[in-house]
A and B are shown apart, each in its own frame.
Chain A
């Protein structure tokens, strides 16, 4: 017998503005996603490493994932740089199912790896995917992770990314969200030893009636740690997006540097975006900044391009494309970003930004 878990409600701050109230887990039956991996075989281990970054499940979805999750574990040994980008593709091809993929990346001392995880479904698939990512970067390790949401417009996603960085390590958590009905990612980067650094980057573009929802945490628990976050998104049609982010600098994190920028572009009168940045600083001698904007295409930018002789509709498209390219240009090298640029172009066409 299974017990239906108690879901959170939008009353809770971390679920504020979310569509959690619309979710009924009983309508989904448990089923694994169809998962393919490319370039992963040499580094996969059968032994579960769950818990290396997420000591305890952060919410009921992480808990459900821990119970039902199909884990893919990638362990890169000490000193090894993996040249080939590892790709993992989860396809949800059944209607009315819930899948709990779990990816654990463990990079040993001075190891380096880039992993792309794609979530795919067709339009008309009313299903739910609840992925969890755990990343541990040991001393001086470099981990690049890219999540790409290519879900159809009826599929829900409630995801969780958790990384932990040890001395002088670098973790980059990147998310590209173009698909899904309601698609949420909670991304948490924890820096636990001196000199650790984390970069979080996201591009999101919700159109039609889609909603993208991001909750980020940059947690500094050691001196001279560095974090930088850039999330840029657009909403068109009657789409919605939410970004809430917290930089937390704990007591022993002197000389930490933390930056957080969230920019939102509203492309239609019916579109809505919310941005809530937060700082919590418990020590002196830190360098922190946060910036957030929500608005339509910048008049000054438009005037600048038009004053060169660029017609208005082309200027607009250049600016919106530039807004996204600014993120795509920062993705890890070795990743083919052309399909992403094409997908963004298609969505812009659909929005009438030509």
Chain B
């Protein structure tokens, strides 16, 4: 059982304060969705949790099972059990996913002997073409293939808590279903806790959230049951911002 706890988190990009005090607690097996209009601070939240350069913490804390994440390097946060699925996965020419996963598992002091088999079984679970697995990371991949590639890594690395930054952006229906179902399965099989940042309700049809939070202007303005998504679908954000 793991817990990601975010308390009073404030953060800036440059001189602009984007997050103005976020409180969130995510336990193993839970799916939390964060929804909100453009500019609400959704992507900043994921960047700050993972320690992306260019983002500045102004106050508050982020802990995983009581361990301060904000004082760790990005790679140490990942080794501790956080995983970020990126909205726009970066192209890394000439670097292959198996090399990265091998080094990532070695840093976790985990067994790498079955890696090739794990990669191919994960790939087939999400209908990711084996030929594409051998391509350089995210190079010449479509939007859907990039997100399948991200999901494959999540499946292999088995993090405690996954942050999905707009997993649904740039995805066709099939890829969305494959990726969302795989993450949903991990919440049962591995007790994965999920923080799903999204713009659209459609992701939540496959990935069943326990709680929905509405983020607006750097604050969580409303938290509630999954029905909140239906209200958003009908009325938009206007009632909450």
Distance in Å: Cβ of B178 to nearest Cβ of chain A: 20
Given contacts A306-B78, A308-B78, contact A318 B93 (CB under 8 A): no
Q: Which residue, of A298, A303, A312, A329, has the highest number of chain B Cβ atoms within 10 A?
A: A303
Question: What sequence of 0s and 1s flags, for each residue 235-267 of chain A, a beta carbon within 8 Å of any chain B beta carbon?
Answer: 000000000000000000000000000000000
Question: What sequence of 0s and 1s flags, for each residue 263-276 of chain A, a beta carbon within 8 Å of any chain B beta carbon?
Answer: 00000000000000
- Whether the pair B100, A318 counts as a contact (CB closer than 8 A) is yes
Q: Chain B residue with minimal CB distance to A321?
A: B94
Complex contacts, B95 vs chain A, CB 8 Å: 305, 318-319, 321-322, 325
Complex contacts, A321 vs chain B, CB 8 Å: 94-95
Complex contacts, B92 vs chain A, CB 8 Å: 301, 304-305, 318-319, 322
- Whether the pair B78, A309 counts as a contact (CB closer than 8 A) is yes
A342: interface (CB < 8 Å): no
C-alpha gap A300/B74 in the complex (Å):
12
- Whether the pair B94, A325 counts as a contact (CB closer than 8 A) is yes
Distance in Å: Cβ of A203 to nearest Cβ of chain B: 11
C-alpha gap A115/B52 in the complex (Å):
47
Q: Taking chain A's interface residues, is the majority helix, strand, or loop, or is none over half, making it mixed?
A: helix
- Whether the pair B73, A306 counts as a contact (CB closer than 8 A) is yes
B171: interface (CB < 8 Å): no
Q: Taking chain B's interface residues, is the majority helix, strand, or loop, or is none over half, making it mixed?
A: mixed
Comparing B101-109, B114-122, B210-218, the segment that makes contact with chain A is B101-109
C-alpha gap A264/B203 in the complex (Å):
40
Complex contacts, A327 vs chain B, CB 8 Å: 94
- Whether the pair A300, B107 counts as a contact (CB closer than 8 A) is no
- Whether the pair B157, A307 counts as a contact (CB closer than 8 A) is no
Q: Which of B191-216 contact A (CB under 8 A)?
A: none
Q: Chain B residue with minimal CB distance to A329?
A: B94
- Whether the pair A310, B94 counts as a contact (CB closer than 8 A) is no
- Whether the pair B153, A308 counts as a contact (CB closer than 8 A) is yes
B89: interface (CB < 8 Å): yes
Q: Which of A289-342 contact B (CB under 8 A)?
A: 298-301, 303-312, 314-315, 318-319, 321-327, 329
- Whether the pair A318, B153 counts as a contact (CB closer than 8 A) is no
Complex contacts, B99 vs chain A, CB 8 Å: 318
- Whether the pair A318, B74 counts as a contact (CB closer than 8 A) is no
Complex contacts, B24 vs chain A, CB 8 Å: none
Distance in Å: Cβ of B196 to nearest Cβ of chain A: 17
Q: Chain B residue with minimal CB distance to A324?
A: B94
Q: Chain A residue with minimal CB distance to B85?
A: A307
Given contacts A303-B74, A321-B95, contact A309 B108 (CB under 8 A): yes
Q: For B75, give its contact among A300, A311, A319 (CB under 8 Å).
A: A311
B136: interface (CB < 8 Å): yes
- Whether the pair A304, B73 counts as a contact (CB closer than 8 A) is no
Complex contacts, A310 vs chain B, CB 8 Å: 75, 100, 103-104, 107
C-alpha gap A318/B75 in the complex (Å):
14
Q: Chain B residue with minimal CB distance to A314?
A: B103
Complex contacts, B108 vs chain A, CB 8 Å: 309
Q: Chain B residue with minimal CB distance to A309?
A: B78
Q: Which of B53-110 contact A (CB under 8 A)?
A: 53, 73-75, 78-79, 83-84, 86, 89-95, 99-101, 103-104, 107-108
- Whether the pair B93, A300 counts as a contact (CB closer than 8 A) is no
Distance in Å: Cβ of B101 to nearest Cβ of chain A: 7
Given contacts A314-B103, A324-B94, contact A307 B136 (CB under 8 A): no
- Whether the pair A308, B90 counts as a contact (CB closer than 8 A) is no
Q: Chain B residue with minimal CB distance to A330?
A: B94
B50: interface (CB < 8 Å): yes
C-alpha gap A273/B166 in the complex (Å):
38
Q: Chain B residue with minimal CB distance to A304?
A: B90
Q: Which residue, of A307, A311, A315, has the highest number of chain B Cβ atoms within 10 A?
A: A307
- Whether the pair B74, A307 counts as a contact (CB closer than 8 A) is yes
Q: Chain A residue with minimal CB distance to B84?
A: A307
- Whether the pair A312, B90 counts as a contact (CB closer than 8 A) is no
A-B contact pairs, 7 of them (CB 8 A): A304-B89, A304-B92, A306-B75, A307-B74, A310-B103, A319-B95, A323-B94
Query: Contact residues of A with B, CB < 8 Å?
Result: 298-301, 303-312, 314-315, 318-319, 321-327, 329
**8 extra A-B contacts, CB within 8 A, seeds A301-B92, A305-B95, A309-B157:** A305-B103, A307-B50, A307-B78, A309-B107, A310-B75, A318-B95, A322-B94, A326-B94
